[in-house]
C-alpha cells in the first residue's frame, strides 16, 4: 500500500458504523526522499490564486457542503481520535502532562555549554534579527536566535513558551533552550558562508561578526539572552506543504489537507497567535530510524511577538490579501476604519501586542489561506478545541514560567491572556457543537449505562446548572425512541433491549443553560457482545 493514496473506511451501507482501518504505519523504514526547497513566491501565488480558483470550481466539495456532509479527515479512528504517527503524538489532549513534563517539553539535554567557546559555522546577517549556527565544546550544533534591539525577551520568550505548548498539544517541535552567554566566547569558524544585508553570499569576517553583535539586544551585564535551537536529528528534507502528498516519501499516503492533526491545528495556532502557518515554518527530517518525521518550527513570531517587533495589530484580523476589508474601505471612500487600526498600547515590551478581548477564534485570519484549515469540519474543530481546553491554568503558568520573564507583571499578563484566549476557543466551538466526550460504558448494580463528560463543564466554562441533554435512538438505522435526560450524563442501556438490532446509534445533544436551541449532536454507536452479555462502545463521531 506504500506510495498509494490511503482511502481508509468508515460508515458504509445505510447508517451502520464500520470502524475505519488504521492508517498504514508511517514510521517504517523507507528510502530517503530528495531534499527540496520551498519557492515562497510560487507558494504565495498558489494559495492566493490557483488554490482559490480550484476550490471555486470543486463541484464535489460544494455538493458535500450543501448536503451537510463535508469530507472528513482520513486518519481518524473509530473514536474520532488520531493515531500516533510521524506527524503527531497524543499528549495533553488524552492524558494531562505533569507540570514537570510540560516544563521539559521536547528538551532532552541541558542545552549548549555556555562555559566554553562557541564556534560559528553559519550565519545570517540580513533582516532585522540576525542569527548564528554554532558548535559548542561538546560538539552539539544549535541555531542561535536573538531578541530585536529594544525588546528584550520578546522573541525568545515567545519561542520557548509556544514550543512547550505546541509540544504538549502533540506536535513535533525542536528542542529550544533559553541561554545567556558571553559574546566574548564566540569564535568565527573557517570559511563561514554569510548572506549579507544586500543579499550577497560571501565568507564572513570578524568585522561582520562585530556588526551583527552590535544589533543584538544585550542584558545589563553585557551578556546576551538567546534561544538555542538544537539541530534536529537526521537529514533535513525541506518543508512540508499543508496539502497534497510528498511523492518521494513512500510513507506519505494521506493527503495533508485531510490529516486531522493539520486541520485541527487551526484552532491551536489561533490560540497562540501563530498566524504564519506557511510551509516555510515546517521541516521534514529523514531521521536515523529511516523515515520522515514532520516538524513545526520557528515560533519567534507567535503570541505578541512578530520576531523583529511587537506583533502588528492587524495580525489575525486580516490576511495578506483580504478583499472584504478592501471593499469596505473603497465603498466608504476611506472613511471606514478597521478595528485593528486603533493601534493598542503595548503594555509590556517583553510580551508585545497580545490581547484577548477582541479575539474571535472562528474569524481568525492567517497570513495566507491554509488548505488544511479550509478543509476543517466540525469534527476537526471539536478535536482542536478539546486540545486547547485540555490545558489547565497551572499548566499555562508553567509554560509561561519557562520564558523566564524578569517582570512578574509581564508574565502574569501573558498567563491571563492565554487563559482567556483558551476559554474563547472553547466557547466558540462548544456554543455550536455538543461538548460531550470521553464516552464509556459503565456497569452499576447489574445494569449498564453509557456515560459521558461535558467538556464545557469539566473545564469550568459552564457551571453545569440548567444544562439539559437528550438523545434519539436508532436501531439498525431505524428511529426507535427518544428521551430527555435532563442534567443526567448517563444513558441506561438496558432500555435498548426493547428495540432489537445488531447495532444501535444514539444521537446525543446538549441544550445550554437558558438556551432554546439544541446543539449539534454527537453520534455514538453501540453493539452487544452476546457471548458475554456486555454492551460495547464501537465508535463515535462529533
pLDDT at 467 over 80: yes
pTM: 0.92
Distances (CA, A) of 245 to 18, 176, 249, 253, 259: 26, 29, 8, 7, 11
Summarize the confidence of residues 263-282 as an average pLDDT. 97
pLDDT at 333 over 60: no
Summarize the confidence of residues 95-99 as an average pLDDT. 97
pLDDT at 257 over 90: yes
- For helices 408-430 and 393-401, give the axis angle rounded to 10 degrees: 140
pLDDT of residue 342: 64
Summarize the confidence of residues 160-175 as an average pLDDT. 99
Phi, psi angles (nearest 5°) of residue 518: -95, 135
pLDDT of residue 147: 93
pLDDT of residue 198: 77
- Give CA–CA dist 10/210, Å, rounded: 61
Summarize the confidence of residues 28-52 as an average pLDDT. 87
Sequence-separated (6 or more) residues with CB below 8 Å from residue 63: none
Q: What is the mean pLDDT of the chain?
A: 90
Using CB atoms within 10 Å of the CB of residue 19, give its burial: 0 to 12 exposed, 13 to 18 middle, 19+ buried. Answer: middle
Summarize the confidence of residues 166-170 as an average pLDDT. 99
Assess contact for 456 and 462: CB atoms under 8 A: yes
More confident residue, 38 or 264: 264
Beta strands in 395-499 (DSSP E): 436-444, 447-454, 468-475, 478-486, 490-492
pLDDT at 329 over 60: no
**Backbone Cα Rg of the chain:** 25
Scanning the structure block, which residue is given the C-alpha cell 539541530? 231
Using CB atoms within 10 Å of the CB of residue 322, give its burial: 0 to 12 exposed, 13 to 18 middle, 19+ buried. Answer: middle
pLDDT at 513 over 70: yes
Q: What domains can be seen in the chain, in order of their start residue?
A: 40-103+240-430 (no CATH), 107-160+172-235 (3.30.200), 436-541 (2.60.40.10)
pLDDT of residue 325: 56
Residues 123-158: pLDDT tens digits? 876 655 678 999 999 999 999 999 988 999 999 999
C-alpha 207: how far from its chain's center?
41
* Residue in 404, 412, 462 with CA at minimum distance from that of residue 435: 462
3-state secondary structure of 444: strand
Record the cell numbers describing residue 271, joined without a space.
490560540
Distances (CA, A) of 284 to 171, 227, 252, 490: 13, 21, 12, 45
pLDDT at 16 over 90: no
More confident residue, 229 or 12: 229
pLDDT at 9 over 50: no
Amino acid at each position: 500500500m506504500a506510495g498509494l493514496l490511503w482511502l481508509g473506511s468508515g460508515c458504509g451501507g445505510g447508517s451502520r458504523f464500520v470502524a475505519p482501518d488504521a492508517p498504514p504505519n508511517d514510521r517504517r523504514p523507507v528510502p530517503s526522499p530528495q531534499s527540496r526547497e520551498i519557492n515562497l513566491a510560487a507558494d504565495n501565488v498558489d494559495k492566493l490564486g490557483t488554490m482559490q480558483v480550484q476550490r471555486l470550481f470543486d463541484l464535489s466539495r460544494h455538493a458535500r457542503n450543501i448536503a451537510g456532509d463535508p469530507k472528513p479527515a482520513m486518519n481518524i479512528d473509530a473514536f474520532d481520535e488520531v493515531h500516533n504517527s510521524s506527524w503527531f503524538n497524543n499528549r495533553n489532549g488524552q492524558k494531562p502532562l505533569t507540570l514537570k513534563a510540560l516544563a521539559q517539553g521536547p528538551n532532552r539535554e541541558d542545552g549548549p555549554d555556555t562555559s566554553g567557546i562557541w564556534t560559528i559555522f553559519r550565519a545570517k546577517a540580513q533582516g532585522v534579527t540576525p542569527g548564528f549556527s554554532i558548535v559548542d565544546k561538546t560538539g552539539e550544533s544549535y541555531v542561535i536566535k536573538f531578541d530585536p534591539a529594544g525588546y528584550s525577551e520578546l522573541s525568545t520568550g515567545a519561542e520557548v513558551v509556544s514550543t512547550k505548548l505546541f509540544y504538549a498539544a502533540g506536535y513535533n517541535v525542536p528542542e529550544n533552550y533559553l541561554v545567556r552567554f558571553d559574546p566574548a566566547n564566540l569564535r568565527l569558524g573557517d570559511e563561514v558562508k554569510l548572506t549579507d544585508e544586500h543579499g550577497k553570499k560571501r565568507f564572513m569576517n570578524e568585522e561582520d561578526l562585530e556588526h551583527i553583535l552590535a544589533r543584538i539586544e544585550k542584558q545589563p551585564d553585557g551578556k546576551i539572552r538567546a534561544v538555542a535551537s538544537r539541530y534536529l536529528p537526521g537529514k533535513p528534507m525541506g518543508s512540508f506543504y499543508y496539502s497534497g502528498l510528498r511523492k518521494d516519501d513512500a510513507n506519505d499516503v494521506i493527503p495533508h489537507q485531510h490529516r486531522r492533526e493539520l486541520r485541527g491545528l487551526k484552532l491551536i495556532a489561533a490560540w497562540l497567535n501563530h498566524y504564519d502557518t506557511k510551509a516555510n515554518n515546517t521541516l521534514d527530517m529523514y531521521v536515523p530510524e529511516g523515515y520522515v518525521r514532520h516538524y513545526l518550527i520557528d515560533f519567534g513570531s507567535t503570541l505578541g511577538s512578530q520576531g523583529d517587533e511587537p506583533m502588528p495589530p492587524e495580525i489575525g484580523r486580516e490576511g495578506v490579501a483580504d478583499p472584504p476589508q478592501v471593499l469596505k474601505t473603497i465603498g466608504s471612500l476611506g472613511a471606514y476604519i478597521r478595528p485593528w487600526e486603533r493601534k493598542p498600547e503595548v503594555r509590556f515590551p517583553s510580551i508585545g501586542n497580545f490581547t484577548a478581548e477582541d479575539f474571535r477564534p472562528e474569524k481568525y485570519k492567517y497570513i495566507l489561506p491554509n488548505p488544511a484549515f479550509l478543509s476543517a469540519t466540525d469534527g476537526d474543530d471539536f478535536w482542536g478545541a478539546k486540545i486547547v481546553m485540555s490545558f489547565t491554568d497551572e499548566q499555562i503558568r508553567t509554560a509561561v514560567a519557562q520564558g523566564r520573564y524578569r517582570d512578574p507583571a509581564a508574565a502574569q499578563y501573558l498567563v491571563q491572556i492565554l487563559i482567556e484566549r483558551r476559554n474563547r476557543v472553547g466557547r466558540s466551538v462548544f456554543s455550536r457543537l455538543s461538548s460531550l466526550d470521553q464516552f464509556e460504558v459503565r456497569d452499576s448494580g447489574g445494569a449498564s449505562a453509557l456515560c459521558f463528560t461535558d467538556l464545557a463543564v469539566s473545564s469550568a466554562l459552564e457551571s453545569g446548572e440548567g444544562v439539559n441533554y437528550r438523545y434519539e435512538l436508532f436501531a439498525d438505522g431505524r428511529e426507535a425512541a427518544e428521551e430527555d435526560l435532563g442534567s443526567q450524563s448517563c444513558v441506561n442501556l438496558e432500555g435498548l433491549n426493547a428495540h432489537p438490532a445488531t447495532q444501535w446509534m444514539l444521537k446525543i445533544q446538549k441544550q445550554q443553560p437558558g438556551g432554546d436551541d439544541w446543539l449539534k449532536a454527537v453520534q455514538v454507536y453501540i453493539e452487544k457482545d452476546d457471548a458475554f452479555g456486555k454492551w460495547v462502545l464501537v465508535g463515535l463521531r462529533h
